[in-house]
Amino acid sequence: MNHEEGKQTPSELSNDKSRRKLLKSASSTLTLLLNTAAASAMETLIEEGSDTETNFLPSSPEQFNTVISVQNSPTPSARVLCADSEEENRISIFQRVAPSVVYIDTFSEKRDVFSANVMEVPIGSGSGFIWDDEGHIVTNFHVVQEAKSAQVAILTQFSGNERNPLISARKGLDLKDATVNPFTSARPGALGISGTSSAVTGFTREIFKAKVVGVDPTKDIAVLKIDAEKANLRPIEVGVSQGLRVGQGSLAIGNPFGLDHTLTTGVISGIGREVKSPTGRPISNVIQTDAAINPGNSGGPLLDSSGRLIGMATAIYSPSGASAGVGFAIPVDTVKYVVERLIQNGQIVRPLLGVSILDSQQARQALGITRGILILEVKPGTPAAKAGLRGLRRSENGIVEIGDIIVAIEGNSIEKEGDLFKAIETFEPGDVVKVTVNRPEVDINDDGTPEIKLKEISFSVRLIASDDTTFLQR
């Protein structure tokens, strides 16, 4: 059918109107879908708190305070994920206590082979916790035992006045550029981006040089001190360990394998355990827990189900070196006693008997002594020597005579070294104690043959102090 050029038939006009309506409808639908997708993405971002502090740097204090208040408030998704009040309680405890837990790096000194310069070389890391608002940090002695220096990383809350809240001022390190990260053994990403805490929202990391206030190797306890503002320190809430019962809940927070502020949970598996300190002396009344404790947890807090400190992680029993569900913590009652005296005096003064002893296992294997502790030497000039106690000695004819064997202190039976240390530590330097010993003596039988018999004798001995120069210098 022929038509004039540039004109449309009624059929073509109708089709053109239909196409325009279809395009208009499609455009409206596309706009609606885009708006819906954008709203959904924004809602997801707000609900999950996904990288809010990483993707958004507030340009004003007002915006910053708004961001922090949103991050610190319970989100809808968080409420949905918490299945019960027990989970919410654990989360609440962690958020409250985590800022009290610190990350400790230790260093030794090494001289450069090509120059006379002395360099600091990292040798290890551990955990600790803030004791008070004076900057005292409590950790294990073995964490800092070999160190020449140490640094402590703490979590501090954003004040809202920082120019850039994601960059912490590394105070105490004399760094010219605050954006430069000092060494840390923490694994990449463990402390969050630009020093912010990946575990506790609204907090950033600050690192301080630490000085040693005092140590007690026999209890594996050390006290450090950092120069931090009181407002940035969150002392841990101290509980009690007396009266703990097997089956109670326990939580451990620490830095295992360089992963900062790791929370593990379990129960108190046993009480009254005994572990050896770095000096070889036993630490008594130790708490056993199945909350996972791994290398790096040393010095970290063990908490009860209310978030109070009940112990300090110190050791694990494991064939592999990693957690096997048997961890040990020094009871907080012991920690508190030692820490308070270290802060006050810088040292712990303990009572001593003034004698050196032979390891009980060696005495049993080599000499057949089945009971008590053999005295090797009695220090000259000490009250023990004046009281009449004897150690190993050689007679005029060259025969080695066995010394006294301690079998009781104030009536308490002594079977091994741990019994002796525990019995002595219940007293103070200067106290007089009753020491009962078995003294070997040679008797001549009726047939003229010599026979060694043990004669039980008691002595009154005044205990000396562990810093007594008369004992230490001889």
Find out whether 98 and 90 touch, Cβ atoms under 8 Å: no
CA distances from 15 to 162, 324, 445 (A): 65, 78, 136
DSSP, residue by residue, 416-443: SHHHHHHHHTTS-TT-EEEEEEEEEEEE
Side-chain-side CA neighbours of residue 150 (13 Å): 32
List 38's β-bridge partners, or say none: none
Amino acid residing at 73: S
Q: Give the torsion sign (CA, 205, 209, 212, 213).
A: negative
Q: What is the pLDDT along the chain (474 residues), one digit of tens a residue?
A: 444 445 556 565 556 666 666 556 655 655 555 555 555 544 444 344 433 333 333 333 343 333 333 344 454 444 445 567 888 899 999 999 999 999 999 988 777 666 667 777 888 899 999 999 999 999 999 999 988 889 999 998 866 554 433 334 444 444 333 333 466 777 655 555 455 555 677 788 889 999 999 999 999 999 999 999 999 999 999 999 999 999 999 999 999 988 889 999 999 999 999 898 888 888 889 999 999 998 889 999 999 999 999 999 998 876 666 666 789 999 999 999 999 999 998 988 889 898 989 888 888 888 888 889 999 999 888 899 999 999 988 777 777 788 899 999 999 999 888 889 889 988 999 999 999 999 988 777 777 777 778 889 999 999 998 876 555 454
User: 3-state class of 122 per DSSP?
Assistant: strand
Instruction: Tell me which residues are annotated as active site.
Output: 142, 220, 298
DSSP 8-state symbol, 463: P
- Report CA Rg, the chain: 34
pLDDT at 407: 94
State whether the Cα torsion 354-359-362-368 is positive or negative: positive
Query: Residue 224 and residue 433: Cα distance in Å, rounded?
Result: 35
d(CA 250, CA 327): 11
Which pLDDT value is given to residue 284?
Answer: 86
Q: How many CA atoms lie within 13 A of 261 on its CB side?
A: 27
Long-range Cβ contact pairs of 407-413 (< 8 A, separation 24 or more): 407/371, 407/372, 407/436, 407/437, 407/438, 407/456, 408/434, 408/435, 408/436, 409/433, 409/434, 409/435, 409/436, 410/434, 411/436
pTM score: 0.68
Q: Which of 232, 255, 289, 291 is CA-nearest to residue 99? A: 232
Half-sphere exposure for 474 (CA within 13 Å, toward CB)? 15
The pLDDT value given to residue 67: 36
What whole-number distance in Å separates Cα of residue 393 and Cα of residue 377?
Answer: 8
